[in-house]
Amino acid sequence: MQRQNHSSGSSWEPIVGYSRAVRVGAHVMIAGTTAVDDHGAVVGPGDAAVQTRCILEKIGKALQALGADLKDVVRTRVFVTDISGWEAVGRVHGEVFGTIRPVTAMVEVSALIAPDLLVEIEADAIIADAATAAG
């Protein structure tokens, strides 16, 4: 199967050796994504809901770059630095994925790559049309 790598243009991608997203066949995997803008600034410092919305928008763009959509997401993994703020994160996740309802996990981690980052999200998608065509 053909592999497609998608880069967000982040300066960290070549240093760490990763892609924002990878598509193999009907499967698309999105790397851990944080609320950092194109200039490296944290979006919504101190506001987990704002960061979650920004992250899910970035995930949506990465999916689209590889021929997928949010409706194709089957799993998300949500990492938060303070689990007591789970509800704000969960509400935004629910607004975006309300009828899609992927499986998910939310776990607390001690820190993310920058102190102002409160949330990081990974996503996996299966493009239904591509899976049907391949099967």
pLDDT in tens, 21-55: 999 999 999 999 999 998 889 999 999 999 999 99
CATH number of 3-129: 3.30.1330.40
CB atoms under 10 Å from CB of 129, counted, come to 11
The tally of CA atoms less than 13 A away on the side-chain side of residue 59 is 31
Question: What's the mean pLDDT when you consider all of the chain?
Answer: 94
pTM equals 0.93
Q: Are the C-beta atoms of residues 81 and 108 closer than 8 Å to each other?
A: yes
Parse the chain into domains and list their residue ranges.
Answer: 3-129
